[in-house]
């Protein structure tokens, strides 16, 4: 299997409130179609690492390669376009646009990409919502949904452009066992059937141990397995 | 860039923040409508004063002013004799008011292609006698037909007709105020006394009104021959030539040309004659500019503030949009479009309200006192002002919205998402 993501010697400091090294020479590779879980104690740098991998955080040293492209030094605009097309992201605090319906939230990244017509995008978005069992809430304002429902919509949004890599920062953090299982099954299927790569930070040990591979972080370093 | 998408998001933002959007829009609405009212009224006043002044002002006025010769006549005598001559209080000659060969000059000036016509005139101070009371006034002898053709005197007639002056001799028409002060009506006779003491009985055949009290209280017209007779002058006696041009903007240039050809004759163009009105116009224009600028500035600040606040409240949304692939310019477009939509809506409504206010003003009675005869506020309705209003409103909101939008585009998503 080919490598879809390659991080080499990632080092990141926070300067505020005092100089503090969050990531200490982190290096690893992820293969296409792999379902990877990142675990570790709170404060070990999992979220920080994920933001670096997602190209949102560019303030680090070391090299990041996704789909064989070295992304260091890319402009913010180029990175945004890259994220739009190739990366899906589920944030720790779900973050939907509150003024828009669930459906519209899912549609927006696809409308931005412009690969499909608006009608097709809507249909695809409905399909993704159906996958998450959220079709009945499609036309509800996202601010009117519960935390768990918002998280499921956020997952649907992450899937809308059929990205190569889906990253999640505790995507099941707000969900009960059943719904966590649903998300796990979906991720697993995306990895196995579509060869999409999944990288999730999780506290859920069942979730992690059922995935293909686990990376454990401690004090900004990957623990050797 | 996907404008449709940005537009859709902008509209959603506006619709969900109705109150804020309406407040911002009201700012623009107020600014633009006041701008329209202001400029319509100010240019209306300018036009009113100009029209009024130009009705009665020749484009070029040729006359002989009563000036005292500064070099004493006695100084022109032989000064080598080492003697003293003292002249106290030198007086002007009696003939000074006369333009030499005035009628000939008039016909020559009329041949200049830019000149529409010349009306020779005999003017003098006179007294109209109302019993023992003498009312000071001026009487102008005119070529009635030409005066009407060039200065539209016929349209100023309130009673009688201008042509009635031509029917008999010793006829006169009076300004409305002058007639009232003299206690005469059409058909009455009125006695006129010249400064030289000549006296003549004239028949009032009409009453006119310029709508300017200072003119209507003092002016009277008769034929050239009648006034020459009142003044006991010969038919070549002319004191003023009133020149009308096809294009009044050429007055200065033509005046300069005439001046070179007619040394010793005094010429005055309409700009000099109406310097006070033009100065007032300048002041009003400056005022309009300053107030309009202030209004637009206030409207702009309103939009700027509200958009800034809006963007602070939408930091999370901006971060999300960017994280899911929207670029800086998409974000700029979204928030700029919000400003533009608010600005255009406010601007167009502002035009509507501005028009409505202007219209209401234009039918509101004007408290002109006794100085001007005017019934309602003078207001212009000029499409260019409305176009200007939209353009200014648009430019202001674009400018005011640009900086917040730029700020929005620079939001670093990871800082917000990290929490
Ligand atoms: N913006 C920040 N500024 C300074 N320190 C930060 C910031 N964000 C996180 N940290 C610190 O970096 C470390 C790693 O944080 P994080 O990556 O969120 O850990 P995790 O997701 O594994 O719980 C923590 O000690 C945290 O306090
Ligand atoms: Mg975390």
- ipTM comes to 0.93
Per residue in A141-177, pLDDT (tens digit) is 999 998 889 989 999 999 999 999 999 999 888 788 8
C-alpha span between A196 and A188 (Å, rounded) = 9
For range A88-100, the mean pLDDT: 87
The residue nearest atom 21 of ligand 1, judged by CA position, is A47
Give pLDDT < 50 ranges for chain B: none
Give yes or no for residue B419 CB within 6 A of ligand 1. no
CB of A12 within 8 A of CB of A219?
no
Contact between B417 and A98 using a beta-carbon 8 Å cutoff:
no
CB of A137 within 8 A of CB of A174?
no
C-alpha span between A93 and A96 (Å, rounded) = 9
Average pLDDT of every residue of chain A: 92
Residue B373: what pLDDT?
A: 63
C-alpha span between B253 and B245 (Å, rounded) = 11
Beta bridge partners of A5: A30, A66
C-alpha span between A152 and B109 (Å, rounded) = 93
- Both tokens of B166, joined, read 């031509």
Chain A: closest CA distance from residue B417 (Å) = 8
Q: What is the CATH number of the domain that holds A77?
A: 3.40.50.300
Per residue in B311-369, pLDDT (tens digit) is 888 899 999 999 999 999 999 999 999 999 998 899 999 999 999 999 999 998 877 66
Residue linked to tokens 């006549």: B73
Sheet with A165-169: list strands edge to edge.
Answer: A87-90, A165-169, A197-201, A35-40, A213-218, A221-222
Per residue in A10-51, pLDDT (tens digit) is 999 998 888 899 999 999 999 999 999 999 999 999 999 999
Residue B103: what pLDDT?
A: 83
Q: Of all atoms in ligand 1, which is nearest to the CA of residue A220?
A: 14
Residue B155: what pLDDT?
A: 84
Among candidate residues A16, A39, A97, the one with its CA nearest the CA of residue B317: A97
* Weakest mean pLDDT among A77-86, A190-199, B87-96: B87-96
Residue linked to tokens 């016909």: B107
> B322 — contact with chain A (CB < 8 Å)?
yes
Contact between A89 and B327 using a beta-carbon 8 Å cutoff:
no
Q: What are the start-end ranges of the E strands in A41-86? A: 61-66, 69-70
CB of B146 within 8 A of CB of B165?
no
Strands A165-169 and B60-63 come out as unpaired
Q: Which residues of A touch B326 (CB under 8 A)?
A: 80, 84, 112
Q: Taking the model in full, what pTM does it have? A: 0.76
User: Cβ contacts of residue B384 below 8 Å, gap of 6+?
Assistant: none
For range A100-126, the mean pLDDT: 95
Q: What is the total count of domains within chain A?
A: 1
For chain A, give the percent of residues with pLDDT over 90: 82
Contact between A83 and B330 using a beta-carbon 8 Å cutoff:
no
How far does the centroid of ligand 2 lie from the alpha carbon of residue B170, in Å?
109
For range A166-190, the mean pLDDT: 89
Among candidate residues A106, A200, A199, the one with its CA nearest the CA of residue A152: A106
> A139 — contact with chain B (CB < 8 Å)?
no
Give yes or no for residue A19 CB within 6 A of ligand 1. no
State the residue range of the domain holding A170: 3-224
């Amino acid at each position: 299997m080919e490598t879809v993501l390659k991080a080499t010697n990632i080092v990141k400091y926070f300067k505020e409130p005092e100089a503090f090294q969050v990531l200490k020479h982190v290096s690893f590779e992820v293969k296409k179609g792999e379902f990877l879980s990142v675990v570790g104690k709170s404060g070990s740098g999992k979220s920080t690492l994920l933001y670096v991998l997602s190209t949102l955080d560019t303030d680090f040293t070391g090299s990041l390669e996704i789909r064989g492209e070295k992304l260091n030094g890319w402009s913010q605009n180029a990175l945004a376009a890259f994220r739009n097309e190739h990366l899906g992201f589920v944030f720790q605090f779900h973050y939907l646009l509150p003024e828009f319906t669930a459906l519209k939230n899912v549609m927006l990244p696809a409308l931005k990409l412009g690969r499909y017509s608006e009608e097709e995008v809507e249909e695809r978005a409905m399909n993704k919502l159906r996958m998450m069992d959220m079709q009945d809430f499609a036309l509800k304002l996202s601010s009117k949904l519960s935390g768990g429902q918002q998280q499921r919509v956020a997952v649907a949004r992450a899937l809308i452009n059929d990205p190569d890599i889906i990253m999640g920062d505790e995507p099941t953090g707000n969900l009960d066992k059943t719904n966590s299982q649903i998300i796990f099954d979906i991720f697993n299927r995306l990895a196995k059937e579509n060869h999409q790569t999944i990288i999730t930070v999780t506290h859920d040990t069942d979730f992690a141990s059922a995935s293909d591979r686990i990376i454990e972080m401690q004090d900004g370093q990957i623990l050797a397995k | 860039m996907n404008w449709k998408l940005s537009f859709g998001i902008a509209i959603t933002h506006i619709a969900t923040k109705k109150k804020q959007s309406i407040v911002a829009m009201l700012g623009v609405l107020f600014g633009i409508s006041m701008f329209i009212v202001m400029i319509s009224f100010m240019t209306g006043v300018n036009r009113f004063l100009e029209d009024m002044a130009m009705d009665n002002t020749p484009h070029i006025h040729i006359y002989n002013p009563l000036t005292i010769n500064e070099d004493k006549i006695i100084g022109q005598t032989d000064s080598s004799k080492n003697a003293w001559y003292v002249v106290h209080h030198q007086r002007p000659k009696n003939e000074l008011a006369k333009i030499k060969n005035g009628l000939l000059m008039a016909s020559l000036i009329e041949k200049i292609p830019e000149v529409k016509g010349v009306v020779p005139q005999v003017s003098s101070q006179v007294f109209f006698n109302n019993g023992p009371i003498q009312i000071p006034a001026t009487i102008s002898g005119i070529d009635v037909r030409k005066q009407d053709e060039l200065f539209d005197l016929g349209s100023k007639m309130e009673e009688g007709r201008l042509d009635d002056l031509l029917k008999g001799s010793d006829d006169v028409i009076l300004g409305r105020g002058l007639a009232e002060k003299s206690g005469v009506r059409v058909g009455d006779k009125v006695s006129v006394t010249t400064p030289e003491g000549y006296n003549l009985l004239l028949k009032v055949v009409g009453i006119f009104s310029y709508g300017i009290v200072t003119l209507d209280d003092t002016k009277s017209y008769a034929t050239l021959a009648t006034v020459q007779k009142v003044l006991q002058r010969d038919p070549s006696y002319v004191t003023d030539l009133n020149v009308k041009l096809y294009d009044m903007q050429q007055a200065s240039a033509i005046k300069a040309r005439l001046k070179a050809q007619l040394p010793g004759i005094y010429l005055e163009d309409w700009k000099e004659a109406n310097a006070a009105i033009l100065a007032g116009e300048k002041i009003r224009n400056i005022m309009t500019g300053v107030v309009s600028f202030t209004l637009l500035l206030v409207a702009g600040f309103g939009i700027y503030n509200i958009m800034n606040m809006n963007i602070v409240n939408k930091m999370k949304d901006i971060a999300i949009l960017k994280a899911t692939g929207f670029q800086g310019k998409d974000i700029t477009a979204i928030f700029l479009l919000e400003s533009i939509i608010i600005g255009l809506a406010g601007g167009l409504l502002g035009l509507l309200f501005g028009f409505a206010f202007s219209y209401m003003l234009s039918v509101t009675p004007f408290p002109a006192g006794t100085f001007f005869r005017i019934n309602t506020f003078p207001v212009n309705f000029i499409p260019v002002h409305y176009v200007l209003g939209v353009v200014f409103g648009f430019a202001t909101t674009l400018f005011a919205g640009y900086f917040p939008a730029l700020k929005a585009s620079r939001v670093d998503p990871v800082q917000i998402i990290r929490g």
